Amino acid sequence: MSDPAKPAPAVPAAAPKKPRLAENDIDHELLKRKLGDRLLRIEVAFDQTVLHVAREHVLEVLRTLHDDAELSFKMFTDVTAVDNLKREDFEPARRFKVVHIVYSLEHGKRLRLETLVPEQDPTCPSAAPIYKGAAWVEREVYDMFGIVFTGHPDLRRVLTPDYYEYHPLRKDYPLTGKGERDNFVRAEELA
């Protein structure tokens, strides 16, 4: 296989590993101890710690993360969602994934929570009772994905008009819409 006339190609030096951000360096054992069996799975994705939580435990987990002095995740960065419809291993029970991102100002740590939401019953408990700032971002997730946040103080659409019938970021909604943008009538046609 090796040709003595040709020198073996130099093995490229491994790219230097990026130093880990301090905010991602989280004590998993502490999280496991605090959350107990409400934690389905804990993993590190893109160097960030991700907690997988069942839907019925989301509120309790957020409450613990917020209130516990050793965790103290007081800042709510974002809540967003993922539509798994076009995935190869799609199944209706795992249609949506709600992603909460919280940050601990006290300890400088960031955490991601992932919760699966089924297609038939697209609801998720609202984080607004714990984090006031969650109310508006949850409205956006409701508007774009149609996930209903139970216990939300004022769940209305925020980006699309109130009369809109669809949730545009769902993968079964066409990019160019269903004719809403052409649905205004000129005066000449009305008369």
Q: Are strands 96-104 and 75-83 parallel, antiparallel or unpaired?
A: antiparallel
* Residue 117 φ/ψ, nearest 5 degrees: -130, 125
Q: Which is nearer to other proteins, 69 or 190 (CB)?
A: 190
Q: Which is nearer to other proteins, 2 or 176 (CB)?
A: 176
* Alpha-carbon distances, residue 52 vs 4, 42, 85, 113, 179 (angstroms): 54, 6, 19, 6, 38
Regarding 171 and contact with other proteins (CB under 8 A), the answer is no
Per the listing, tokens 């409205």 go with: 139
Regarding 191 and contact with other proteins (CB under 8 A), the answer is yes
- Print the binding letters for residues 141-160 with other proteins: x by CB under 8 A, - otherwise: -------------------x
Q: Which is nearer to other proteins, 153 or 177 (CB)?
A: 177
User: Which member of 5, 10, 15, 190 binds other proteins (CB under 8 A)?
Assistant: 190
Per the listing, tokens 């052409």 go with: 182
Residues 30 and 75: their CA atoms lie apart, in Å, by 19
Interface residues with other proteins (CB under 8 A) are 160-161, 163-164, 168, 173-178, 180-191
